[in-house]
Structure 1
Amino acid sequence: MSNNYLETTKDSKSEADRDERILKTGRKLFIREFVKQLKQLQSHLDAIQAAPESEDLERFYRIIHTLKGSSPIFGYVRIGKLAEDLVHLWEWTQSMEVEGAAILLPNSPIQESVERSKPILRQMNMEYDIALTEMQLDEQQDSSSASMLGSLKSRLLLVDDDEVLRSYLTRRLQLDDCVVDEAADVDSAIKLLRQHTYDLVILDLMMHPQSGYELFEFLKEDPTLKWLPLIVLSGRNDLQDKVRCFHLGADDYVTKPFQYEELAARIYGLLKRTKNFEQLAFRDPLTGVFNRRYFDLQIEMELQRIDRYPAPISLVFIDIDCFKKINDTYGHHVGDLVLQGLAHLLQVNLRSTDLLARFGGEEFVIALPSTSLEQAIATMRDILDKVRSKPVAQYGGQVFSITFSAGVSEWRTGMTVGEWVSKADEAMYQAKQQGRNRIMAASLLDEVNPKLAAAQTQKKSLLIVDDDPILRAILTSHLEHLPITITHAADGEKALELFQSQHFDACILDGMMPKLDGFTLLEQLKKDAHLIQGEMKVLMLSGKKKEDDVVRGLHMGADDYMTKPFSLVELETRVKKLMNLV
């Protein structure tokens, strides 16, 4: 890379930085002048309303015309649009003859323009407020300067039919790092409440065609929403309204007009108190994940949502393998560290929409919304791989690695939560029985997939014969979610010993191995049929792609043949077909 190129790049960056500094300086100067212009506009408008003079009209029009052109230059497009609206309202005055004295015609269009200008000026004042806040936030460089409300990262629902106020509050709350959804009426609010989970609702009491009281009734009747924090906004400072709202379940009552800073402080206080309560009531103190009480409440909400908006949901029941041995050997303090380590690993590998809870002891449960049985198995297989690959805890210079067994169950219409959990628990127990360290699907729908259910009951077995330990591990990881027991052999001689003592329903056999290769092993099995206890299907793997080798393998007794490299997805499909699992 040439020095000239480096110098050019450096110069371009310097120019960009300089331009950015100039723009920021210009924005500051604009805001300083803008607040003065707002005061002048209000003063001129008041004078025009009282006694229209040509001088006030000219100054008023000159300011709004200037703002129309200058605001977008500094990035304040909304201010420019509002100024343009005012220009359209008043441009008719530029073509009329105003002869010094006041225009006192009773039906003058001036009075109409004045009334229509007032809400636009109010919006301009709100824009100034937001612009000033944005500028202050831009000047704050470190995270400690973030607002207290922003530190909570909350999702709020704002319900108000006043479009201007709703837009203003939304933008201010977004500047405080809140996610805000808007609703202009009760019906829209109910729809959003059914679609999303909120930390707090801000509700205008006086709305049309339905008042805010209608939403009170909805929240009160829904057991999953009755504890949702609620702040009421009202233009009436009426004691009876306040008392009624508190009786109906409001947590706070704010009278309009109000300062944003006060509302933000009330929201922060309420959210902080709610989160502290949640921490005490719904969190497992050891691991920090949700407890069983919270799971029981939240899973009902998920099922209600699915009832309204059908989608798959799966449940995973997890149990740490040989956990009692860890406690007995190293002490409960090490066991606690293992629980914390697994909980952390699960959390960082799950989606924010997934629900993880400690069910008790060394058991965890996970609800996976919008996830089918197959997708849930794939997710848990990936997580189990991560658990196997690195320790979950360390104490006194010693690291501790674990595995877990898990059962997966997909919810079906008509199934109770208890039945659903039991299905996942039963599948987890089957995983334990088949050797631990695996994921097992629950036999939920025997009538839909009877072969899969029967296979789990019969515990079909697969032997993987390959001298490559990495390939054996990959194959095991990819196939272990199936309802089968998997055994390994590193060469043909070891496989021959296993055939003499065990029955296998299928075998994945590498063609090229030391000591006794796959082709020779097949030939020996063909000669000594008594070595195979019952019928066994063979899938031959080989790095050779010659047609003669394929024919040879099939002639020796292989039922299927795949050449390396191969697709794991295709291999799984062939194994399931050979073992009659599909």
Structure 2
Amino acid sequence: MASGNDRIGREQRLLKEGKKKYIAELGKQLIQLREGCGLTEPESPLETAKHIYRIVHTLKGSAPMFEFVRIGSVAQRLVELWEWTQREKAEASGPMTALPFGRCAEQSQPLLRELELELEVYKRELELDEQQEQVNSSFLQPNGERLLILDDDEVLRSYLVRRLRMDGYEVDEAADVATAMKLLRENSYHLITLDLMMHPDSGYELFEFLKNDPTLKWLPLIVLSGRNDVNDKVRCFYLGADDYVTKPFQYEELGARIYSLLSRTKTFEQMAFRDPLTGVYNRRFFDHQIQVELERIARYPAPISLAFIDIDGFKSINDTYGHRVGDQVLQGLAHLLQNNLRATDMLARFGGEEFILVLPNTTGPDAKKAIDDILRQAHHGPVAQNEGQAFHITFSAGIAEWSAGMSVKDWIGLADGAMYEAKQGGRNRTILYAGTPPGEAAGAQVASPGSRKTVMIADDDNILRSILIAKLKHLPVDFREAANGEEAYQSLLRRPVDLCILDGVMPQLNGFEMLARMKEQGNRPEEMKVLVLSGRSREEDISLGLKLGADAYMHKPFSMVELELRVKEMLNLS
């Protein structure tokens, strides 16, 4: 036999279904009533009036059964208005029939308007009920959230663990702070519930532990306490608690607070840390999380690699088909990458058509193999379709494995430089950075400070500047940068350099104008070499550069290998 709760639940479901059908039928009936009470008198007034009466009589009788009290009240007034149709003396023709019909039809208009308004209100109420059911369904079926329950009360802790698991959460438990710390180091959690008064350590000890760990400081935390003391509450909120629940409490309240806090945290993450177009992490989250990953490696040494990915020919897609198609291509590649990642990998949109992928516990060669596999998948099918047209893409990727002492900027620069080499090598490929990490001289002793050279990179393309620095930083050189010719000129007057890598076309003062001014003023540093980089390969440009004193000329795009050889030659580095 079904329990009382089952019976109540079944009755509620039946009532809900009845309400939905009633509202749907009311919409149809209102159309008929509007037609029957129209401005023009029908051919058979009495038959029409009787039809109107039957409709409003049905509305009046069934509305209270489905708790539509206001509809029932309006329908009652309509029934009274058309009650004359049920009298025996009502005849099918004659002046006595026409007169009541016209008057009743006119007096029905405001009542029908009331019914239409009630219909809209009740439809909205049903929609809100359905939305609430979806929320409740989400609450009863969490999306893999993992919780940690810390409480030395074994009975309460066991009860909470069982109830939360019944609601679909993954739950771990700890009876003391030391055990909780161990679990927090070993696992990832979405929320903690914390008892304040425990032995031997109080719950306050965990606040300090969480605050000092960058991987845990933003973890949502609910305090459960038997003390309803305002000072305790204030102290916990200042220390970083997100909520405070006083024992004894109803589980339903705690469950709702947990759900609400997890939902807000997820929403905040979507707004603050997700790229709105592709749904992957954004640059802000990457900058934060990469530090977390490196701090984790400092505690538990392991390999970690980074891949810098750039869509080939993306500008031509935008120019030819428009940004709408370009956006679909970005979404398609993001989807392809995400579908091939492990749970521990991190994908972020770095900007434009560039994505960056962090692969923990992965060597450089293994990372290259993983990205090669994804590139092969990109060859097999389109990443987007628009109006029946399929769009296939390839990408270029650079990969670098992190080594001890390497800064994040240098690490990204190495991967970015390797990606640039992939572009120069014909695109549609991955390149693993195989050079010596920054700070180490390949095949030679580290140079002493006095023997280091200084290189000025003067180019308004900040990305190219960072690539050049990353590619050449293993050499015994120090770098200075300038974003335009005037800035480079003034800097060189103050402090000469051994080599100036100079862009031929820059704002304020281009490379050729800078060389011309130095030649005219006679203030070029005597030992300074000049390597001109230019996107123009015209013979007259090359001749002009050499005539003005350039020692070498390379046109963009150029080979990074050739550039490095040229720099070594000009600085007399073996």
TM-score range, shorter chain: 0.5 to 0.7
Aligned position for 2:307: 316
Q: Is the 8 A contact 2:147 2:169 kept in 1?
A: yes
Q: Pick from 147, 163, 169: which aligns with 2:160?
A: 169
Aligned position for 2:117: none
Aligned position for 1:190: 181
Instruction: Measure, in 2, the Cα distance between the counterparts of 1:145 and 1:257.
Output: 24
Q: Is the 8 A contact 2:142 2:169 kept in 1?
A: no
Q: Per-residue deviation at 1:204?
A: 0.9
Identity %: 66
Q: Is the 8 A contact 1:149 1:264 kept in 2?
A: no
Instruction: Measure, in 1, the Cα distance between the counterparts of 2:437 and 2:327.
Output: 39
Instruction: Measure, in 2, the Cα distance between the counterparts of 1:179 and 1:196.
Output: 12
Instruction: Measure, in 2, the Cα distance between the counterparts of 1:445 and 1:165.
Output: 57
The structure-2 alpha-carbon separation of the partners of 1:281 and 1:260, relative to structure 1 and needing over 3 Å to count, comes to: same
The structure-2 alpha-carbon separation of the partners of 1:143 and 1:253, relative to structure 1 and needing over 3 Å to count, comes to: closer
Q: CA-to-partner distance for each residue in 1:430-464, whole Å, 9 max, x for gaps?
A: 1111111011101253799979xxxxxxxxxxxxx
Instruction: Measure, in 2, the Cα distance between the counterparts of 1:158 and 1:311.
Output: 30
Aligned position for 1:421: 412
Q: Pick from 342, 352, 355: which aligns with 1:361?
A: 352
Q: Per-residue deviation at 1:149?
A: 5.2
Task: Write out aligned runs for 1:397-416 (5 A).
Answer: 397-416=388-407
Larger displacement relative to structure 2 (396-405 or 217-226): 217-226
Aligned position for 1:381: 372
Aligned position for 2:551: none
Aligned position for 2:225: 234
Q: CA-to-partner distance for each residue in 1:333-371, whole Å, 9 max, x for gaps?
A: 110000000001111111121100000000000111111
What is the TM-score normalised by the length of structure 1?
0.51
Q: Is the 8 A contact 1:195 1:305 kept in 2?
A: no
Q: Is the 8 A contact 1:224 1:297 kept in 2?
A: no
Q: Is the 8 A contact 1:316 1:367 kept in 2?
A: yes
Q: Secondary structure at the match of 2:162?
A: helix
Are 2:270 and 1:265 aligned?
Answer: no
Instruction: Measure, in 1, the Cα distance between the counterparts of 2:247 and 2:259.
Output: 19
The structure-2 alpha-carbon separation of the partners of 1:422 and 1:446, relative to structure 1 and needing over 3 Å to count, comes to: closer
Instruction: Measure, in 2, the Cα distance between the counterparts of 1:375 and 1:265.
Output: 44
Q: Pick from 273, 286, 300: which aligns with 1:282?
A: 273
Q: Secondary structure at the match of 1:414?
A: coil
Instruction: Measure, in 1, the Cα distance between the counterparts of 2:260 and 2:136.
Output: 18
Aligned position for 2:236: 245
Q: Is the 8 A contact 1:408 1:439 kept in 2?
A: yes
Runs of 4+ in 1 over 3 A off after TM superposition: 142-147, 444-451
Are 2:296 and 1:305 aligned?
Answer: yes
Matched AA of 2:367: A
Aligned position for 1:370: 361
Aligned position for 2:432: 441
Unaligned runs of 5+ in 1: 1-24, 33-141, 452-582
Q: CA-to-partner distance for each residue in 1:104-160, whole Å, 9 max, x for gaps?
A: xxxxxxxxxxxxxxxxxxxxxxxxxxxxxxxxxxxxxx9997451533431212211
Are 2:284 and 1:293 aligned?
Answer: yes
Looking at CA atoms only, which structure, 1 or 2, has the larger radius of gyration?
2
Instruction: Measure, in 2, the Cα distance between the counterparts of 1:317 and 1:378.
Output: 14
Instruction: Measure, in 2, the Cα distance between the counterparts of 1:407 and 1:291.
Output: 19
Instruction: Measure, in 2, the Cα distance between the counterparts of 1:428 and 1:376.
Output: 14
Q: Is the 8 A contact 1:313 1:371 kept in 2?
A: yes
Q: Is the 8 A contact 1:387 1:402 kept in 2?
A: yes
Q: Secondary structure at the match of 2:192?
A: strand
Instruction: Measure, in 1, the Cα distance between the counterparts of 2:282 and 2:396.
Output: 20
Q: Per-residue deviation at 1:188?
A: 2.0
Matched AA of 1:346: L
Are 2:118 and 1:153 aligned?
Answer: no
Aligned position for 1:506: none
Q: Per-residue deviation at 1:295?
A: 0.8
Instruction: Measure, in 1, the Cα distance between the counterparts of 2:171 and 2:382.
Output: 40
Aligned position for 1:396: 387
Q: Is the 8 A contact 1:283 1:289 kept in 2?
A: yes
Instruction: Measure, in 1, the Cα distance between the counterparts of 2:292 and 2:182.
Output: 15
Q: CA-to-partner distance for each residue in 1:1-44, whole Å, 9 max, x for gaps?
A: xxxxxxxxxxxxxxxxxxxxxxxx8xx89x99xxxxxxxxxxxx
Q: Secondary structure at the match of 1:421?
A: helix
Aligned position for 1:17: none
Q: Secondary structure at the match of 1:157?
A: strand
Task: Write out aligned runs for 1:498-509 (5 A).
Answer: none
